[in-house]
Amino acid sequence: MPNEYVPANAPGSLSPGEHAVRMADLLGAFSLASDLAMGLQAEHGVRSCYVGMCIADELRLPDEQRVHLYYTELLKDAGCTTWTSQLATSWLVDELAAKRDLQFFRNVQNPVDVVAWLAKYVAAGMPVATRASRFVDFFAHGKEFMREGFESTCQVATRIAKRLGMPQPVQDALMQVFEQWDGRGMPSGSRRDSIPVVSRIVLLTSFLEVFHRVEGREGARRIALARRGKAFDPEVVDAFLSAAQRESFWKGLEDQRVADAVASMEPEGSPYRYLGEEKLIDVAMALADYADMKSPYLLGRSRRVAELSEGICRRMSLAERQVSTITLAALTHDIGIVAVPSFVLNKPDDQRTSVEREEVRLHAYHSQRILSKVPALEPASQLVAAHHERIDGSGYHRGLSGFQIPLGARIIAVADRFDELCHDTPEGPAVDADAAVNAIRQEAGTRFAPEAVDALVASLGGLEQAPRQKARRQERPAGLTEREVEVLRLAAGGMNRKQMAKVLFLSEGTVRSHLEHIYGKIGVSNRSAATLYAMEHDLLAKNPTFVR
């Protein structure tokens, strides 16, 4: 399985090949994942896209800009898993609900509104001293903290768009989707015509969709007028109000088949309408990295599970087509985890409430739901749905048992558990590979399929880990040194400069200098984008060594 990405598509092909995949389908899946990751109702992204394309008609945007708008709308939240863990750590609460309220329903320029939000969410239920310290920290550093969060979100969305083969104007628009007409947006405070028109449309449509869900047609009109000339471009607002005079506009937005309508809105002249089926692996990697950024405990897991799963398949001498399907499923097996707040993911299971445990259990269902948007990924979606089922029938979410569980799901279950045991989790520190194998063997026949366990052991013995690790040390990308890779790993894991300095026996100034050099070498400006780069280039962790 390749470790580095290549762009998933290239312009120039307007017609589908024999095994071509619709870009609209792929981005529809990404959009649904983003809806769940934002804590918004399903189809937020496609409904926003519908409104955006109607506004484009009113503005008579040129064909090229319509192409850029369409893909930007569906990818507008593609970086939203980036900052959630930091929000959860800072606010000590379900960060999805808190962020949704702050972003859409509060006036951050009004101190009274901000205080009311703080009182409702930040450190809710915690001791008074804890709440007070978090309040003070928010007022002292909140603006810069949020600015960094928006910048990280935009940079990661931009990088994912590049990996999916989107053109530069789409990448540029994604970098500015949170900028506001009056210059009070983030991350850079751009204003008026310095913001791409595509970004100005996307910002408005995001709010219109949310307010239409909550307050109906008049709610959408009200928020557009209230922020006209402030957050929103007056011309774009007027275009919406013109479209909103037609009953057909509202019927289209409120139709249960709006996703089908949006799929048909993909501009016919777009050179990005199709990509070859062979590029699905690159798309799957993008989805994998998107999911794994949800928690520092997950970073790189999907790629590792895919590599382990592929090794098991080879040991079982499966057909090449079956290996490809299982590898795709292993890469995307946790995409539904984006629906779970980072606040919940970062807790040990015995500290979760029954509701939180159910949220975690539903992630396999959400994974299938997301992948089912892409016909070419339907076989993989069936495996993903069943990867937490157990041989004795005590798994979830359907309670399948024995051979009712697809072979690919049985393989992924073993690979997933092995990787989980070999890396730190909220449940405890990592164990070595031998201890992990012994633990898995004890559950062969009850939780895990014995044949998959045997194949895992055989594949681990043939990986020749030490030579691979040595080769990696000699071939660091972008001229990174071993020390810089070590710093990058710690930063990706969530450590601050003081913590990294203590672990590495360095001064904070030296750590800061290392981070500056790392960012310069790999072409990023913040920790989140650097973390994504590290996942793309397999820099986060070494595979565990197994000794038979």
Q: 286-305, pLDDT tens digit by residue?
A: 999 999 999 999 999 999 99
Q: Whole-angstrom Cα distance, residue 281 to residue 6?
A: 10
Structure confidence at residue 547 (pLDDT): 42
Domain spans, the chain: 38-274, 277-463, 475-536
Over residues 2-26, mean pLDDT: 61
pLDDT band for 146, please (50, 70, 90 cuts): very high
Structure confidence at residue 542 (pLDDT): 55
pLDDT (tens digit per residue) in 227-281: 999 999 999 999 999 999 999 999 999 999 999 999 999 998 899 999 888 888 9
**In this predicted model, which residue has the larger pLDDT, 529 or 362?**
362
- Asked whether this chain's domains 277-463 and 475-536 adopt the same fold, the reply is no
Q: 475-536: which CATH number, 2.170.130.10, 1.10.10.10, 3.30.300.30, 2.40.160.40?
A: 1.10.10.10
Q: Which residues contact 281 (CB under 8 A, 6 or more apart)?
A: 1, 2, 324, 327, 328, 331
pLDDT (tens digit per residue) in 102-125: 999 998 888 999 999 999 999 999
Is it the case that residue 4 has pLDDT exceeding 60? no
> Which of 372-376, 400-404, 466-470, 523-527 has the weakest average pLDDT?
466-470
Structure confidence at residue 496 (pLDDT): 84
pLDDT (tens digit per residue) in 52-109: 999 999 999 999 999 999 999 999 999 999 989 999 999 999 999 999 999 999 988 8
pLDDT band for 459, please (50, 70, 90 cuts): very high
pLDDT (tens digit per residue) in 475-484: 788 889 989 8
Q: Whole-angstrom Cα distance, residue 134 to residue 95?
A: 14
CATH class held by domain 38-274: mainly alpha
pLDDT band for 10, please (50, 70, 90 cuts): very low
Is it the case that residue 382 has pLDDT exceeding 50? yes
Structure confidence at residue 130 (pLDDT): 95
What are phi and psi for residue 428, nearest 5 degrees?
Answer: 160, 180
CATH class held by domain 277-463: mainly alpha
> Phi-psi category of 405—alpha, beta or left, where left has phi over 0 and alpha has psi -120 to 50?
beta
Structure confidence at residue 523 (pLDDT): 87
pLDDT band for 219, please (50, 70, 90 cuts): very high
Structure confidence at residue 466 (pLDDT): 37
Q: Whole-angstrom Cα distance, residue 309 to residue 456?
A: 8
pLDDT band for 541, please (50, 70, 90 cuts): low
Structure confidence at residue 380 (pLDDT): 95
The rounded mean pLDDT for the chain is: 90
**Amino acid at residue number 345:** L
Structure confidence at residue 452 (pLDDT): 96
pLDDT band for 153, please (50, 70, 90 cuts): very high
Distance separating the N- and C-terminal Cα atoms of the chain: 25
Over residues 367-380, mean pLDDT: 94
Structure confidence at residue 352 (pLDDT): 95
Structure confidence at residue 264 (pLDDT): 93
Q: Answer for the pair 230, 192: CB distance below 8 angstroms, yes or no.
A: no
**In this predicted model, which residue has the larger pLDDT, 534 or 204?**
204
Task: Decide: helix, strand or coil at residue 275.
Answer: strand
Here the tokens at position 547 are 């000794």
Is it the case that residue 464 has pLDDT exceeding 80? no
Q: Whole-angstrom Cα distance, residue 323 to residue 97?
A: 39
Q: Whole-angstrom Cα distance, residue 505 to residue 75?
A: 41
Structure confidence at residue 465 (pLDDT): 45
pTM of the entire structure? 0.89
Structure confidence at residue 548 (pLDDT): 38
- 22 sits in which H/E element: strand 21-22
